[in-house]
Chain A
């Protein structure tokens, strides 16, 4: 099955700086890579995603890049704000056959933005 590695596990940045979280995946057939943000005590929420036919996608202060050859993808947050503090999860879509897909998640990165 798919294996997703996520680094770093914790990340502290000063307000206004950029944050980068990196993930690698093992299954070259994976073709969908979402990122989720989870605030303390809340549910994970989709913040951005990228498909394998795209190399980069941007939405305001967040961007995701994908390198299919190297099997890694990254989340970039610019001009960080205290409200960006949360746990971020990357995921890769695994095809288990007969049109059935599931997401395999990384273990998460706890981002702290210091005012």
Chain B
């Protein structure tokens, strides 16, 4: 039972390049999330998917797109990377509805130069 798996773990991009962060969960959770973590800023929600087939913007969606490929997989795409997107990205999943904690992936450390 792997839980939430994220790839890659580390990535360096040049400004303007694109990339997709992959996330998969095997816990049969309906809801999935992408957060970014910056020093002193806590965890900020980028996008979420309450259930398969739906996606919604979070607090900081600009510069990102997402795809809920199926119930297991939720990807995050940077179309044209900028230095301001240098961060640690965490994917998480949970049961649907309030009152459930998240299980986080191990994170992707992204540097944009």
Residues of A within 8 A of B (CB): 1, 6, 9, 31-32, 34, 42-46, 49, 51, 89, 93, 95-96, 98-108
Contacts and interface: CB of A to CB of B under 8 A. Distances in A.
B53 interface: no
Contacts of A106: 42
Nearest to B45: A102
**Chain A to chain B: the 10 pairs with minimum beta-carbon distance, closest first:** A100-B50, A107-B42, A101-B98, A43-B104, A46-B101, A105-B43, A32-B99, A93-B98, A34-B101, A105-B42
A103 B107 CA distance: 17
Interface string B27-42: 0000101010000111
A43 B98 contact: no
B106 A101 contact: no
A31 B99 contact: yes
A93 B99 contact: yes
A44 B99 contact: no
Given A102-B33, A102-B48, A45 B104 contact: yes
Given A43-B90, A105-B43, A51 B99 contact: yes
A89 B42 contact: yes
